[in-house]
Amino acid sequence: MNVSSPIGIFDSGVGGLSILREIRRAFASEDLLYVADSAFVPYGDKSPQFVEARSLAITKFLVDQKAKAIVVACNTATGAAIATLRAGFSMPIVGIEPAVKPAVGKTASGVVAVLATSGTLSSDKFANLLARFGGDAEILIQPCPGLVEQVETGNLHGEKARALTAKYVLPLLERGADTIILGCTHYSFLALLIREIAGPGVSIVDPNAAIAHELRRRLEDNDLLSPVPRSGTERFWTSGAPDDVKPVISQLWNADVEVRRLPKRYCRPDIPFESPR
C-alpha cells in the first residue's frame, strides 16, 4: 500500500455512511471502500467477542484490498475491537466513541443523555470515557433497541421511526437533559427527527466531523495523504444480500451505487453467535 491506496471504512450496516459522508467532504481525492456487515446487523445486541471477530474479518478484507487506513465507523465495534485491531494491523486505525467530553462542556442543565447501543453502553471503553470526561454532569444512558433496524430499512421519517425515536427521547427531556449525544452512527440519520422531537433548546452532539479530522491527522503523521488532486471514488460491499442493501445505500448516499457481495470467506463469523442475554 502507498499514498494512492484507498481508505477502508466499515460498520454493521448503513450507519457508517454518515461517517463516509464526512470523510468524502474532507478528502475529495481519496478512494474510499465501504463495507456494511448487513448479514450480522445489529452489532449492539451481540457479544463483544462476536463483534470483535466480525471487525477482524472485515478489516482483513479491507487490508486485502490494500487499504492504507481503516475507519471503524461504528461505536459498538470500536468499543469491542479497536484495541485488537490496532494490535493486529500496522496501518492507522481510527475509531469512534460517544462524544461525552464536548457534550459535558456544552450542557447548561447539567444533564446529558447518551443514545447508543447496549453493546456500547456496557463496554469498558464507555465506562472509562464516563470516568474521564463525565465530570459533575448527570449522564442518562439510553439504549435504543430497534432503532438501528429502523435506519436499515431506510424509512427515516415515517410514523414508526417517529414513534420509536420519541419513545427513547421524550423521557430524557422529562429528566432535564438539554444535550443529547448520538452514540451510534446509525442515529445520525435520525438527527433531524430527534431535533424535531427534542425542540430547539436541546443540543445534539454528533462526533462524525471529528473523525475526519482525526483521520487527517493520522494520515499526515504517516505520510499517507493522497497528494494528487483528482476525484476520489467509492466502492461498496455488503455481507448481506446486495439487492436488498443497494436501495438503502443508494438512498442514504444520494446516488445510484453498485453494491457487491463481500466474498464468503470474510462472511463466516470466526466464532458461533453468542447472545449476551
Binding residue (CB under 6 A) for ligand DGL from 20, 23, 36, 41? 41
Q: Which residue is nearest to ligand DGL (CB)?
A: 44
**By CB under 6 A, is residue 48 in contact with ligand DGL?**
no
Distances (CA, A) of 35 to 113, 135, 227, 228: 29, 36, 25, 25
Q: Does 120 bind ligand DGL (CB under 6 A)?
A: yes
141's grid cell: 444512558
Using CB under 6 A as the binding rule, whether residue 95 contacts ligand DGL is answered as no
8 Å CB contact between 112 and 177: yes
Catalytic (active site) residue 74: yes
Per the annotation, the verdict on 267 as an active-site residue is: no
Cβ(38)–Cβ(239) under 8 Å?
yes
Q: Which of 80, 180, 184, 248 is catalytic?
A: 184
Q: Out of 58, 71, 74, 198, which one is annotated catalytic?
A: 74
8 A C-beta contact, residue 234 and residue 259: no
Which of 123, 185, 203, 208 contacts ligand DGL by CB under 6 A?
185
- 12 forms part of the interface with ligand DGL (CB under 6 A): yes
Separation in Å, CA 228 to CA 3, 15, 21, 27: 9, 29, 20, 11
Beta bridge partners, 32, equal 7, 234
Positions marked active-site: 74, 184
- Which residues contribute to the site for ligand DGL (CB under 6 A)? 11-12, 15, 41-44, 74-76, 117, 120, 148, 184-186
